[in-house]
Amino acid sequence: MRGLQMAMIPDDENGQVLKRMLEDGDDLSRERGIEFFHVFADEDRANAFAEAAEALPDVVVDSPESDDEGVWQVCVVRVMVPKHAAITALERELGELAETHGGFSDGWGSPMADDGGH
């Protein structure tokens, strides 16, 4: 089954991440929070993006935070099954929104599916 899952995942950057997750033993049929990261040069742009992103359905937007170098990051989380098409579509939508506020997408990540005690 895992080989078939691997074969069905497109061979692009998102596909490579999903394939690594499978190789690490993750169950990609289980939903979990997928975190999409976006960076901005200043707090005002980060806040404007965060406010706009909150209007999207089924997302939680973390408050903007800055790092030691003054780069601002906003994480947008959607609980979903990690499917290539859905991740790619949301990543594109959020990336375009970030660009309208002077920022850009900085990838996505996901914890391993929680086994729920099984």
Domain ranges of the chain: 30-109
Q: Is the pLDDT of residue 107 over 60?
A: yes
Strand partners, 71: none
Tokens of 60: 């939680």
33 SS3 class:
strand
- CATH architecture classification, 30-109: 2-Layer Sandwich (3.30)
pLDDT in tens, 34-70: 999 999 999 999 999 999 999 999 999 999 999 999 9
Tokens of 59: 């997302």
Which of the four pLDDT bands, split at 50, 70 and 90, describes residue 118?
A: very low
d(CA 118, CA 105): 35
Strand partners, 109: 35
Is residue 40 within 8 Å of residue 74, measured between CB atoms?
Answer: yes
The pLDDT score that the predictor gives to residue 2 is: 65
d(CA 46, CA 116): 35
Question: Nearest to residue 72, comparing CAs of 108, 97, 47?
Answer: 47
d(CA 52, CA 63): 12
